[in-house]
Amino acid sequence: MIVTPVDLEFDQPLALARGGQLERYQLRYETYGRLNADASNAVLICHALSGDHHAAGLHHPDDKKPGWWDHYIGPGKAIDSDKFFIVSLNNLGGCAGSTGPTSLNPQTGQQWGPDFPDLTVPDWVNAQARLADHLGIDCWAAVVGGSLGGMQALQWSIQLPQRIRHCVVIAAAPKLSTQNIAFNEIARQAIQRDPDYFNGHYQAQGTLPAGGLGLARMVGHVTYLSDQGLGSKFGRQRQADDQDLFQIESYLRYQAEQFTQRFDANTYILMTKALDWFDPAGAQPLDQVLAQAECHFHVISFSSDWRFSPERSVEIVDALIKAEQGVSYTCVETDHGHDGFLLPNEHYQASLGAYMNWIEVS
């Protein structure tokens, strides 16, 4: 499947939940499959912290890697592009083509950098709804996402209940725990304490806080994996060419380096803040907030995920039961921790596929 990203300009201002607005902005997105005549087969894919619009397929036949969710999106796959018209975008504030901290601020002609306005999950839902308007989609057959993407799916069900028929929430939580926020803060501090950070104005200084961003990624990465998963992959093995270096050390350094080449530090801070602030229920009980939803839910968790553990998914499920909403729930047995939501797994594939297959389209 060869796909080509599309850039779309929006010139209507978007008011933001934490104040301010974006006068104009661009969203980069990809689509897989065809929209049917009454637009009843559209599925929105929401990406996680470091994801982007490139969820499936290849951009060029000689690409080494397909999109980040290629195991699950495509012809005949769990999210079947023969059945659905699948839309995947880079969220506002991202660094893969949509307007974000690395874009130019039209008022100054300089990069936004750290001055890019705060974004929240509800803002993303509003921006995604504008994209749906443009594509002629009144109501999504399903909004699907993992991790921070699952939180966007959940937010859709509450914020725009008439525009979503099915909500698939994978490896998510109704809000972050104290420990989750703590890990995010360690990641932010790693970036902000890097001498090359310059309060976020590193671009003007011609530098990059690569050390800090790499460290942030290392911390994050360890929390996405399980002890058992790491152990079975690397154990206490050393590098062939350096007996003093554990393989896990080398692996983390490699992950950090790869990440700093493709990701922006200000974007990382913005995304982790959006995660921390996500709290759709606020002071209200979650079930009362979810009572507004009009869609059917499917919730999936992963047994060894300790970043957003199965118990966090069960919180969502129990609130939905209390709100008398339709919901199915399953926990996938895996050693891969939180990252399990990206990886091939028989039960995950079968249950997600069965759910998506059940969704009616004309």
Partner 1 sequence: MRDSLKIVADWVPEHSKVLDLGCGDGQLMSHLQAKGCRGYGLEIDKACIVQAIAQGVSVIEQDLDDGLANFEDRSMDMVIMTQALQATRRPDLALAEMLRVGREAIITFPNFAHISHRVQLGLLGRMPVSKSLPYQWFDTPNIHLSTFYDFEQLCIAQNATIIERQVVSQSQLAGRIASLWPNLLGELALYRVRGQQ
Using the minimum distance from each CB to partner 1, give the nearer residue, 143 or 269: 143
Asked if 344 touches partner 1 (CB under 8 A), the answer is no
Of 52, 123, 305, 339, which one is the catalytic site residue? Answer: 305
Using the minimum distance from each CB to partner 1, give the nearer residue, 40 or 272: 40
Q: How far is CA 9 from CA 25, 88, 127, in A?
A: 6, 16, 12
Residue 147: active-site member: yes
Instruction: Name the residue among 32, 37, 291, 296 with its Cα closest to residue 143.
Output: 296
The mark string for 143-162 relative to partner 1 (x by CB under 8 A, - otherwise) is --------------------
Q: How far apart are CA 115 and CA 101, in angstroms?
A: 7
CA angle 95, 32, 154 (to 5 degrees): 65
- Please state the closest distance from residue 250 (CB atom) to partner 1, in A: 36
Residue 134: active-site member: no
Which helix (H) or strand (E) segment holds residue 44: the answer is: strand 42-46
Would you give the distance in Å from CA 212 to the centre of its chain? 22
- Reduce the DSSP state of residue 101 to 3 states and report it: coil
Residue 336 is encoded by which pair of tokens?
């891969």
Residue 305: active-site member: yes
Using the minimum distance from each CB to partner 1, give the nearer residue, 69 or 297: 297
Asked if 354 touches partner 1 (CB under 8 A), the answer is yes
Asked if 311 touches partner 1 (CB under 8 A), the answer is no
- Please state the closest distance from residue 313 (CB atom) to partner 1, in A: 10
Residue recorded with tokens 């065809």: 34
Instruction: Name the residue among 284, 270, 281 with its Cα closest to residue 216.
Output: 270
Asked if 317 touches partner 1 (CB under 8 A), the answer is yes
Q: Residues interacting with partner 1, by CB under 8 A? A: 296, 298, 314, 317-318, 321-322, 324, 326-331, 333, 347, 350-351, 354-355, 357-358
Active site residue ranges: 147, 305, 338
